[in-house]
Amino acid sequence: MASRLLHRHIREQLKDLVEILQDPSPPPLCLPSTPGAPGSSDSSHLVGPQSCWSSQKEVTHESLVVGAIENAFQFMDEQMARERRGHQVEGGCCALVVVYLLGKVYVANAGDSRAIIVRNGEIIPMSREFTPEAERQRLQMLGFLKPELLGGEFTHLEFPRRVQPKELGQRMLYRDQNMTGWAYKKIELEDLRFPLVCGEGKKARMMATIGVTRGLGDHNLRVCSSTLPIKPFLSSFPEVRVYDLTQYEHCPDDVLVLGTDGLWDVTSDCEVAATVDRVLSAYEPNDPSRYTALAQALVLGARGTPRDRGWRLPNNKLGSGDDISVFVIPLGGPGSYS
């Protein structure tokens, strides 16, 4: 559903900004409303504190595009919520989106997929994965502000390991929603609850259920053996990063690589960059099939080859058992150096 409709939501959000984005002057603070419509009445009689509004915040065209993409993700998620019963839309997904507009590339990520630019051998991260570890403080803050979402089953505090009943009254290392370091606290009865965020790396889980903290859908997802919903903690808002294509001269070997976690679980950024160099150098710069060949090489490399003990990588480690989807987007275009 997201792959068929998300880009339409993005287009719809950008449609009203076309004239504004083409005008070099700063975006208008307010757009005129239709006469007689709500909000069109005269508000000149309203009086309020003016001291903190003596100056106007500067809003860039770039931030308008970012906001449009963020809203599109939210509207996509809301549509899934509305239609999940009638159309039997169950489950959820991560989403990684690229929008090219007016010389800039906007990369929006909600989930644990990843995008990198490989430019003249240099690696430029264009996203970060949203996992329980990466978003620990956001999750803990929500659990702290709305403890009813934890249902008396979870604690928003983090401990190095699960607290045992025999440790009541002892002092153990912990950290809360405001802390990046660790401190000691006296263990109380509430601390025996299961932690909101637990585990490390690929085994990290939120509410002992899901290993990703942003995405679309999953409106019906519940904690295992419980009625507690996961959705309040699962954000549909993406992080959007911007890359200005006009600031650099790009050659045909400069690419933007998008991949699901099936690729990145077993392949590092440096290994992807090495594959980019190896595969593209085997083709003529003006051969458009070189980018398809690169995507295929990345997928097959992450999957590995069949052996006696399953699919294996060259280092004999297990190949990826997760979904492996890869897009390769040339930044310079076939045969161009601009």
> Which of 38-42, 58-62, 314-318 comes out lowest in average pLDDT?
38-42
- Tens-digit pLDDT profile for residues 288-305: 899 999 999 999 999 988
Q: Which among 26-35, 79-88, 223-232 has the top mean pLDDT? A: 223-232
Rounded to an integer, what distance in angstroms lies between the CA atom of residue 198 and that of residue 211? 10
Of 174-188, 194-208, 231-245, 264-278, the least confident: 194-208
In this model, does residue 200 exceed pLDDT 60? yes
Task: For 22, list phi and psi in degrees, rounded to 5.
Answer: -85, -15
Would you state the structure tokens that stand for residue 72, as one six-digit string?
Answer: 């599109």
pLDDT score at 225: 84
337 pLDDT more than 80: no
Looking at residue 47, its pLDDT comes to: 54
Instruction: Using DSSP, state whether 184 is helix, strand or coil.
Output: strand
Residue 228 pLDDT grade (very low, low, confident, very high; cuts 50, 70, 90): very high
Contact 261, 322 (CB under 8 A): yes
Using pLDDT thresholds of 50, 70 and 90, give the confidence band for residue 54: low
User: How far is residue 297's CA from residue 166's CA, in Å, rounded to a whole number?
Assistant: 53
Task: Specify the 3-state DSSP secondary structure of 198.
Answer: strand
> Which run of H or E residues covers position 301?
helix 289-303
User: CA neighbours within 13 Å on the CB side: how many for 338?
Assistant: 4
For residue range 83-140, what is the model confidence (pLDDT) as tens digits? 887 777 678 999 999 999 999 999 999 999 999 999 999 999 999 999 999 999 999 9
Task: Using alpha carbons, select from 252, 2, 256 the residue that is nearest to residue 104.
Answer: 256
Separation CA 76–CA 79 (nearest Å): 5
DSSP-assigned states of every residue in 63-131: HHHHHHHHHHHHHHHHHHHHHTTTTT--SEE-EEEEEEETTEEEEEEESS-EEEEEETTEEEE------
Distance in angstroms (rounded) separating the CA atoms of residues 143 and 135: 12
The predicted pLDDT at position 176 comes to 96
Q: What is the pLDDT of residue 45?
A: 52
* Local structure of residue 291 (DSSP, 8 states): H
List the chain domain ranges: 135-211, 249-337
The model's pLDDT over 134-178, given as tens digits with 9 standing for 90+, comes to 999 999 999 999 999 999 999 999 999 999 999 999 999 999 999
Helix axes of 2-15 and 61-83: crossing angle, nearest 10 degrees = 140
Mean pLDDT taken over the chain:
89
